[in-house]
Amino acid sequence: MLDKSGFLYFENYFDPNKICGEADKVLKNSQKIKWRFVKVYHNIFLYKLINIFAINFPFNKKLNSNLFDEFCKIDLKNIILKNISWNNFEITSVELQHNEKYNYQSTWHRDAEISNLKSIVIILFLRNEKGFRLVPKNIEDDMINNTTFSKEKSYRNGYVNLSKKYYKEFNAKAGDILIFDAGLLHQGYCTGKRTHLLVRSKENTLKNTIDDSLRPDAILDDLAYFSKQHNWNFNQNPYSFIQKIKSILNFLLYYFPIVKIIKYLLDTKKKKLHFHYSILQDYNKDK
């Protein structure tokens, strides 16, 4: 059960080969047709491409409906209902999260206001991936009492340099699954290529289901409506000339992070991590 630590980890739960291949087709097609519903957190230059962080509505037939078929073969019902005291559940959103070649590190954040098992996050690792970090529920109070974090959802202290004793770091293999309370503090992290499906779910008292917007036959006009419920502006155009120029600037700052180096030198107590989104990311050291 999730009650104590707030998370569970399952090794080698599914065969990743076929579903990863279908996910790669989605990634390729999203660039080819310039899929509107993408998130680009830090658009570092890629020739003829954009540095996609996540593809929303990835099962749509415009991209590759076979991914949905492979996703349905994974027995998430058994994981969810066996480990949470829910009668039924609804899958509310799915993102195909990806990192092509550059280092990535998110802020410490929560996907829900508090950890109360009202909603959960499931990560299906399609490739080997090392670095995802999570603060377990049973040590969260100790972490909060000794750091600047609060229990409420907040990005204020996003790049605080937490001691390793306060979080669990996962060395995931393709085919593994991580499930956790959406209110737990966590941080995405990788150096190099990664691909996984991030699934959000909540209790549904009627039946096990998946949101209509996630089905392959969802039409684009409906997706434009559903997308407004996401905390992201999908009207941005990452393929625009301005964004391409900005990606070149980000590319230069990735290899020559002058501002981050200056901030690192000024932060004498090293309370923060400064080298996210840079070639120096590996140099980040925990207290």
- Condensed to tens digits (0 to 9), the pLDDT of residues 134-171 reads 999 999 999 999 988 888 887 777 899 999 999 999 99
pLDDT category at 286 given cuts 50, 70, 90 is: low
In the block, tokens 């490739």 appear at 127
pLDDT over 80 (residue 287)? no
The fold of the 7-226 domain, in CATH, is Jelly Rolls (2.60.120)
Express each pLDDT in 186-219 by its tens digit.
999 998 899 999 999 999 888 889 999 999 999 9
Domain coordinates of the chain in residue numbers? 7-226
Q: What is the pTM of this model?
A: 0.94
Alpha-carbon distance 40 to 97, whole Å? 10
Cβ–Cβ contacts within 10 Å for residue 30, how many? 25
Cβ–Cβ contacts within 10 Å for residue 148, how many? 10
In the block, tokens 């996401």 appear at 230
